[in-house]
Amino acid sequence: MGTEEVWAGEFGDAYHKRNWVDWQRRIPFWRGMMFRTGARSVLELGAGPGWNLSAIHRTCPDVVVGGVEINEGACEMAHRANIFMMDELAESAELVFTVGCLIHIHPDNIWDTMRSIVDASYRHVLCVEYESTEEEEIEYQGQSGLLWKRPYRQMYEELGLKEVAFGRVGKSGGFDNCIWGLMEK
């Protein structure tokens, strides 16, 4: 079974239940990011139940928000929160982002996925991910082939983007301990 099938199925359902997010704790982060970018449209790849998009909508109600998610259960939760969801990256936005999504993309697909993100963005790409100076597979929930740390910001630079800001987020802000990198075309 491939990684997409794993996340689209029961394992993905269990992931969203196990990793439930108090999205309101993320509002300060998103308020700052939306001020920094001035984006009027955002698109999240790997949006899950729409927690980040809910925080953005609460922060900036006039911003058009949308998400891409392959897990039907998560999409249903997002729809109940009035978040527009799709199952493939078919739209464009001023800001396209991931939060803990790229870490779950198999090495065979990571470059194509990141190129699709760059192509979908009018201006900014944001990644909030576990970073490492080189690709490193991490066992996840007792399984291999489901999580990789990588130098995501460097990889985006190799795809032609320029890093304009980066920082750390953590538990106090409603995230895991991750690095965020804001990139610009």
Among the ranges given (11-15, 38-42, 132-136), the one the predictor scored with the smallest mean pLDDT: 11-15
* CATH number, domain containing residue 54: 3.40.50.150
Of 3 and 182, the structure prediction assigns the larger pLDDT to 182
What's the mean pLDDT when you consider all of the chain?
A: 91
Q: Which pLDDT score is estimated for 1?
A: 58
Q: How many domains does the chain have?
A: 1
Long-range contacts of 180-184 (CB under 8 A, 24+ apart): 180/126, 180/127, 180/128, 181/126, 181/127, 181/152, 181/153, 181/156, 182/33, 182/36, 182/37, 182/124, 182/125, 182/126, 183/124, 183/125, 183/126, 183/127, 183/153, 183/156, 183/157, 184/123, 184/124, 184/125
Look up the pTM and report it: 0.93
The boundaries of the domain holding residue 126 are 3-184
In percent, the amount of the chain with pLDDT more than 90 equals 69
